[in-house]
Chain A
Amino acid sequence: MKAIYILILMSFYLGLQSQDCRKFPDFALALGFDVTRSAFSSSEHREMGLLLVELDPKNLRHSARSKTYKDPTWDDAGYLGPITIDRFGNGYVSAKPNVNMLYNPIINQNTIYKIDNASGKMSSWLVLPYSDESNNQNPYGIVGMYYDCNMDYLIVSTVSGSTQSSEVGKIFRVDVRNKTYELICDGVDAMGVITLRRDNKNVLIYGSARTSDVYSVELDSKYQKVGNPKKILTLEGLGSRGDDRARKIRVDGDNLLIDGTTFYYNLTAPTFIQESKYTFDIANNFALLNIR
């Protein structure tokens, strides 16, 4: 899977101002990168690790890279996957194998790496519990990450240790201020995750890694799960493939935006990125608005 994990920094997500507290990293500013059109990318062609890119024009995945930067530490963890950034300008990223496991040992797949706001150096920051059982069925660990501005939590989904017959994935919340973590959901293989306030309640929305379904579950004030997850929508039958998984979930005003992609717990890497962007109307019972 060569899915794009680009984090568009700061002002690109104007619609998310209520939630988007993310700060453009100081080191990137010092390097002269334009705040309005720069992004981290973990899926640049033939590039292992992370790359900071300046896009021209600014908001297209395939835009020309007018400027790039790669710190020497950014490929220390092999190929990388989900990226997010906090209100202090620190980046968080996890490893994700690409085509094979040569540069991504399974024991590192549940590690969160931090990119320091000031220096831009990447280092291992937190190792979430992972299955140490030998498992040739699932090369993946962390597959989803989201920064919750209200709580300064990283919401992290991992499928580490899951097999064809056993779903043992987890969703954690990690407090970036003190590096502590708590389990939100257990026995759930999730990809895209997001937390939001809705009807004065905290809600976690996640996309299943095993099906095309997207679920919602209420959280209490400490982000502990309240009740059981409820299916709110599905990508099944939609788009050109009909079996996409919700890889990334975001909110833009009244809309829920989902990046859907193919995921079958293997290391296939289609030449053409198999990804679609789905928009759902939150207020209208998650009715589908469009697919791009």
Chain B
Amino acid sequence: MKYIFLGLSLILTVSSCSTDSKDLLEIRYANIKTALESDIPIITLSDSEEMSATNQKNVFKDEKLKAMCFDPATGKPMLNEVLTISKVRPADITPKIEVCKNSECLRLEVYNFALNGTGIFFVKKEDNKLLDYQFYPTMQGDINEELANLATYIAVHDSTVIAQFEGEPAAESVRMSATKTALNRTKCQRSQHLCIAPTFVKGDKALWVIVDLTELRVAGTKWTSVGTTGMAITERAAQNDYVMSCFCDKENSFKDDNWSYKYNLTRSDGLKIYDIAYKGKPTIKSVKLVDWHVSYSKTEGFGYSDAIGCPEFSQSAVVAVEAPYFEPIVEKNDTVGFAMIQKYFSDGWPTPCSYNYQQEFQFYTDGRFRPMMGSIGRGCGNDGTYRPVTRISFFSDDAEFLTAKDNSVDVWQKEGWVLEDDTYHYIDKDYLAQIKLGENTGYMMEANKGQFGATSRGDNAYIYVTVDHGDGGEGESDLPTLAPCCNNNYEQGPEKFINGESLLNKSLVLWYVPQMKNDDTPGQKYCWAESVLENGIYVPKVYPCFSGPMFVPM
């Protein structure tokens, strides 16, 4: 399993870009490194006729500006950049800078990449004295020419842009009459980063490329028709539009030599995969994640019951803003399968009380299947327990669910539930249950006791089995929130479908509710995330927790 942290993704972006005679990204990284290693972490405006680079830096030697330069907790440098330098205008003059009525003064706009805010500084040109300044959180000034060129460079070298543009809109060609570019203002509402949108015209269409100048990557793209008006193209608009049109409003399918299935993003039950077949044989009817229950032990009844799903027109509290993606599963240098991953974010994650959830479906070439549910923090406290509710239904009119009891393995006769606690009787030490789907077919359900890797410490799960009537009921269609946040017993929602019905000769639904306790103890962090200052900007550092049994073919 691979986790790409933001810091690493920067490196990946660099290495994936083709080099040319003037690699602006290389230059940018070098400038950032130089700035952060100097006593004043600021990138100066290089082509200013009004003020030398030394004078620009000297402005920041004022002790009052330390808070804009260094993180108060760690003392690490925060990245700043002078965006513009201009002469003070009459309208700028306040009593504090009255001297500028008779002396030449300069106005500097300086963006802080870590804090996402802009400082406006007034300096007397003659002696470079700082007269006054104000810092405006969330304000982003006009970008300078260097950043504009950098944004265009990042856009034209991005593989997604090249694919969508059907060719690389090279820096030279963007100025050709047939392929024009313009830099449009845009907003990155979710990341709270400095963004700009180079826009490339091709025929009667325009491709907006939202470039994140804080992380130095493309944050989103969107085609529009030239000459028509519509909603402004922003990070959120581009992300939502892509996820809605490609995954919420559309059924997708996957097929390789071993596995085939369909999938789409639901309005409140996460990514649903269905009609799953292994080597052409239908096995699992559908898998989805109905709710995330998060309770905090220090405050009785405090927590949240979150649905996950589409970013618009949904009942989701934590939404998908990116497409699902695939990764290979590698064991001992061999690729033994693949995983499909879908992430969900709260705005502002990983600030306190925001959430990041993940679904991961692992498909192995030998027929094993593991639906995983993960929390990437951070939540509202260090006393949280996460209980995701997963629903799995199977293809079989004559399914059987078996668990160990003393020295035997018994078929469940009626709907019911069981808790995987310390006294649980496993089958052959490792298996929670056996699911027979017909003659010599079905799954052994391997418990997650922490053997699947560092991101899993065991599930301590509630398991429910109910009848699937096949009429869209029993939760097959999109489910509203099933249960409140904070029940610490079996009442997690699936029990509402248990009414004593016989399970014999029926299709079955399996509900799986693991329990994961978060931890922020240094060295043991789990289901946790925090912001750390790296390379002058805040990036998330994550400590995921994943749950889920392994379904092993019989």
Contacts and interface: CB of A to CB of B under 8 A. Distances in A.
A242 B244 CA distance: 20
B266 to A, nearest CB: 8
B219 interface: no
B187 A268 contact: no
A276 to B, nearest CB: 9
Nearest to A241: B189
Interface residues of B, number: 43
Interface residues of A, number: 30
Interface string A161-188: 0011000000000000000000000000
Interface in A95-147: 99-102, 136-139
Contacts of B484: 102
A271 to B, nearest CB: 4
Contact of A136 (B139, B478, B483): B478
A99 B189 contact: no
Contacts, number: 109
A274 B347 contact: yes
A136 B267 contact: yes
Given A241-B187, A262-B347, A266-B319, 11 more contacts: A136-B268, A136-B314, A137-B313, A241-B189, A243-B187, A243-B232, A243-B234, A243-B236, A264-B313, A266-B314, A271-B348
B231 A100 contact: no
A278 to B, nearest CB: 15
Nearest to B482: A102
13 contacts: A100-B305, A136-B478, A164-B244, A164-B312, A241-B234, A264-B240, A266-B314, A267-B315, A268-B346, A269-B317, A271-B346, A271-B348, A274-B189
B352 interface: yes
A125 to B, nearest CB: 26
3 nearest interchain CB pairs? A240-B138, A242-B187, A100-B481
Nearest to A2: B353
A236 interface: yes
Given A99-B306, A102-B481, A137-B314, A268 B351 contact: no
Contacts of B139: 240
A268 B319 contact: yes
B307 A163 contact: no
Interface string A28-47: 00000000000000000010
Interface in A219-238: 236-237
A139 B267 CA distance: 11
Contacts of A139: 315
A271 B481 contact: no
B540 to A, nearest CB: 15
Contacts of B314: 136-137, 265-267
Interface of B: 138-139, 185-187, 189, 231-232, 234, 236-237, 240, 244, 249, 267-268, 302, 304-307, 310-319, 346-348, 351-354, 478, 480-481, 483-484
A242 B478 contact: no
Contacts of A274: 189, 347
Contact of B313 (A164, A211, A270): A164
Interface of A: 46, 99-102, 136-139, 163-164, 211-212, 236-237, 240-243, 262, 264-272, 274
A219 B310 CA distance: 38
A101 B480 contact: yes
Contacts of B306: 99-100
A242 B481 CA distance: 31
Contact of A267 (B232, B234, B316, B351): B316
Given A99-B304, A102-B484, A240-B138, A268 B236 contact: no
A46 B302 contact: yes
Contact of B352 (A100, A236, A271): A271
B348 A272 contact: yes
Nearest to A264: B312
A267 B313 contact: no
Contacts of B138: 240
Contacts of B307: 100, 267
Contacts of A266: 310-317, 319
B237 A100 contact: no
A211 B231 CA distance: 7
The listed residue with most B CB atoms (<10 A of its CB), out of A46, A163, A262, A266, is A266
A250 to B, nearest CB: 24
Nearest to B353: A271
Contacts of A101: 315, 480-481
A212 B481 CA distance: 30
Contacts of B240: 264
A138 B315 CA distance: 7
A146 B237 CA distance: 30
Contacts of A163: 313
Given A99-B304, A270-B346, A242 B267 contact: no
Contacts of A102: 305, 481, 483-484
A128 to B, nearest CB: 21
Contacts of A164: 244, 249, 312-313
A268 to B, nearest CB: 6
Contacts of A268: 316-319, 346-347
A136 B187 contact: no
Interface-central residue, B139, B306, B313, by most chain A CB under 10 Å: B313
A243 B231 contact: yes
A137 B316 CA distance: 9
A262 B319 CA distance: 14
Contact of B354 (A236, A237, A270): A270
Contacts of A236: 231-232
A163 B319 CA distance: 17
A105 B28 CA distance: 53
Determine which residue in B139, B302, B315 has the highest number of CB atoms from chain A within 10 A of its CB, and name it. B315
Contacts of A136: 267-268, 314-315, 478, 480
A163 B315 CA distance: 12
A70 B236 CA distance: 38
B185 to A, nearest CB: 7
Contacts of B319: 266, 268
Contacts of A243: 187, 189, 231-232, 234, 236-237
Contacts of B347: 262, 268, 270, 274
A99 B294 CA distance: 12
Contacts of B302: 46
A237 B317 contact: no
B305 A99 contact: yes
Nearest to B307: A100
Contacts of A267: 307, 314-317
A271 B354 contact: yes
A229 B534 CA distance: 51
A211 B230 CA distance: 9
